[in-house]
């Protein structure tokens, strides 16, 4: 049974404090590396006896994994330390404004109204200050194209015809709009095919051939409801598929709170309508994010794809191909992650829509999609997803502090990263590049290898990033300059 093409388809704040910088003995090789089972540090035990409150180590022989020796000479770090700052986070949000966003949620508010309220609350939240946000919407429609139609005449020659009939019993399988049976591919044996008025199942996002009858599920046993005639449709050629148009922002990335008023005005001006060209929309979003990241190398730039449906128009139009686009963003330099927020009801869940968006998020380097359930408080759930993405600015990427004495850092020999909680302090291994990240011991690396050019960011490996996020309240990530780097 063909899938509908868009008529009616459809973390908590992080507990890690900002970087704090502590001095250390330049002779200490820091044996208590992250991922090891070293005891909690106590003063007076050499390498494993790091004193969190001073710039020297207690006397004694180190017994850590790299066999370092604490010499207790109290020599200071090579430079006075300035406080490091989290990498500024910029978001390019690609927001679904297809016709199905006008569907009602459990509270009777439309999905669009609920999402709009969440976005506007996020943009004006004091906790969002300093984040950069830009916006574009999908679908973008051709000039003068109506958002809905009931006849070909309403669409005109540039955007028509109106999608009013659909082919059935055709091979190869697929969605084939038609005006007569001559538009439908033939079957391999009998040549039998049908061009029937558009109808859709009331309980599932599927087209169906027999209006007024029960929808037949495949496999049997699922309640897809009744096949109901569609009286209002979309112009088949109204959607813009040009990637460059989606890469051009409706609202350019700019920092909050100053940009909030313009972003809210842009959102308020939108009226949902049309189908779901996810492929070119996401590709354009990644292109814009990449261009922005190239122009702002000291920022972390991500895309946020927020949608209530699956791809229904323009190429690529399969989840596999769209997910691959997200993967190209991650592998690019600078790397662009894609976060995904899906707004789904029970009918979408029944056809595995959340799993499809998970595939995009996984390829986009963000593990899984945030799923908003339309049977609950959509506004609260959507804002929670945005808050979680906002929290990522503290999790994984940080600016490199500059020694206050004007000295020159030896990046691969004089920088260390630590995670401290209470009296426990663990060092994180330096792994040179992303390929050196270990699934268990984690690590950190620079965005640019020092042998190639001056680094601009410190990046935590995925497993270390997860550990940072899961750390208890009061924990802190620190950077130390002028100390012997702990290398994996």
What is the Cβ-side half-sphere exposure of residue 22, based on CA atoms within 13 angstroms? Answer: 21
CA-based torsion, 64, 69, 428, 331: positive or negative: negative
Mean pLDDT throughout 136-141?
96
Q: How many domains does the chain have?
A: 1
Q: Using alpha carbons only, how large is the chain's radius of gyration in Å?
A: 27
The answer on pLDDT for 31 being more than 70 is no
Is residue 385 within 8 A of residue 391, CB to CB? The reply is: no
Task: Evaluate whether residue 314 is within a structural domain.
Answer: yes
Q: What is the SS3 assignment for 268?
A: helix
For helices 353-363 and 319-331, the axis angle rounded to 10 degrees is 20
452 pLDDT more than 80: yes
Please name the residues in contact with 240: beta carbons below 8 A apart, sequence gap of 6 or more.
139, 140, 141, 142, 277, 280
> What are the C-alpha distances in Å from 102 to residues 108, 114, 479?
10, 10, 49
Mean pLDDT, residues 31-43 taken together: 38
Check whether 476 has a pLDDT greater than 50.
Answer: yes
Give 300-311 pLDDT, tens digit per residue. 899 999 999 889
Query: What's residue 201's pLDDT?
Result: 92
Least Cα distance to 74 among 24, 32, 21 occurs for 24
Q: Flag whether 39 is in a domain.
A: no
Model confidence, pTM:
0.67
69 burial class (0-12, 13-18, 19+ CB within 10 angstroms)? Answer: middle
Range of the domain at 376: 89-145+239-394
Would you say residue 131 lies in a domain? yes
Mean pLDDT of 90-107: 94
Q: Is residue 305 part of a domain?
A: yes
**Element spanning 206, H or E:** none
The mean predicted confidence, pLDDT, of the chain is 79
Looking at per-residue confidence, does 69 or 294 come out higher?
Answer: 294
Q: Answer whether residue 64 shows pLDDT above 50.
A: no
CATH number of the domain bearing residue 329: 3.40.50.410
With beta carbons less than 8 A apart as the criterion, state whether 417 and 477 touch: yes
pLDDT of residue 71: 31
Q: What separation in angstroms does the CA of 59 have from each of 49, 65, 78, 424? A: 8, 18, 20, 19
Has residue 327 been placed in a domain? yes
Q: Is residue 174 included in any domain, yes or no?
A: no
| Whole-number pLDDT of residue 454 | 86
- Residue 219 CA to its chain's centroid (Å): 33
Of the candidates 118, 93, 87, 97, which has an alpha carbon nearest to the alpha carbon of residue 303? Answer: 93
- pLDDT, tens only, 175-209: 789 999 888 887 655 667 889 999 999 888 788 99
Q: Label residue 43 by pLDDT band (50, 70, 90).
A: very low
Domain membership of residue 408 (yes or no) is no
Task: Give dist(CA 181, CA 192) in Å, integer.
Answer: 10
The answer as to whether 447 is a domain residue is no
**Residue 356 corresponds to which tokens in the numbers above?**
């499809």
Give the model confidence (pLDDT) of 389-446 as tens digits: 987 654 577 888 776 666 677 888 888 887 877 778 788 899 998 889 988 888 999 9
């Amino acid at each position: 049974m063909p899938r509908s093409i868009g008529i009616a388809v459809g973390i908590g704040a992080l507990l890690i404090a900002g970087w704090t910088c502590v001095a250390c003995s330049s002779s200490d090789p820091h044996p208590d590396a992250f991922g090891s089972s070293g005891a909690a540090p106590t003063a007076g035990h050499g390498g494993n006896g790091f004193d969190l409150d001073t710039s020297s180590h207690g006397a004694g022989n180190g017994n850590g994994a790299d066999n370092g020796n604490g010499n207790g000479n109290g020599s200071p770090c090579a430079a006075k330390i300035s406080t490091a700052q989290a990498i500024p986070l910029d978001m390019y949000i690609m927001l679904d404004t297809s016709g199905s966003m006008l569907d009602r949620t459990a509270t009777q508010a439309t999905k669009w109204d609920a999402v709009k309220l969440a976005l506007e609350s996020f943009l004006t939240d004091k906790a969002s200050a300093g984040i950069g946000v830009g916006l574009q919407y999908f679908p973008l429609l051709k000039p003068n194209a109506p958002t809905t139609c009931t006849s070909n005449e309403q669409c005109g020659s540039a955007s028509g015809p109106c999608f009013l009939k659909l082919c059935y019993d055709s091979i190869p399988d697929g969605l084939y709009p038609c005006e007569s049976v001559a538009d439908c591919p033939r079957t391999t044996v009998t040549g039998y095919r049908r061009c029937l008025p558009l109808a859709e199942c009331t309980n599932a996002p599927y087209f169906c051939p027999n209006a007024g009858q029960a929808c037949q599920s495949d496999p049997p046993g699922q309640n897809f409801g009744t096949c109901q005639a569609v009286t209002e449709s979309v112009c088949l050629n109204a959607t813009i598929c040009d990637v460059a148009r989606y890469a051009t922002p409706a609202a350019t990335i700019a920092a909050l709170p100053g940009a909030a008023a313009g972003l809210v005005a842009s959102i308020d001006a939108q009226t949902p309508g049309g189908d779901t060209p996810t492929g070119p929309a996401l590709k354009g979003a990644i292109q814009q994010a990449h261009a922005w990241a190239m122009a702002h190398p000291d920022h972390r730039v991500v895309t946020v794809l927020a949608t209530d449906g699956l791809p229904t128009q323009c190429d690529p139009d399969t989840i596999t191909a769209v997910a691959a686009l997200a993967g190209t963003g991650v592998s690019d330099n600078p790397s662009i992650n894609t976060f995904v927020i899906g707004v789904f009801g029970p009918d979408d869940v029944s056809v595995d829509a959340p799993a499809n968006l998970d595939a995009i998020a996984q390829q986009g380097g963000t593990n899984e999609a945030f799923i908003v359930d339309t049977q609950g408080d959509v506004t609260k759930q959507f804002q929670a997803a945005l808050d979680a993405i906002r929290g990522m600015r503290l999790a994984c990427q940080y600016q490199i502090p500059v020694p206050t004495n004007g000295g020159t850092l030896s990046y691969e020999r004089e920088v260390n990263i630590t995670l401290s909680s209470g009296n426990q302090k663990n060092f994180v291994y330096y792994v040179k590049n992303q390929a050196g990240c270990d699934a268990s011991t984690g690590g950190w690396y620079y965005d640019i290898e020092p042998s190639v050019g001056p680094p601009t960011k410190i990046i935590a490996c995925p497993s270390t990033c997860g550990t940072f996020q899961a750390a208890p309240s009061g924990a802190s990530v620190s950077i130390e300059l002028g100390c012997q780097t702990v290398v994996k």
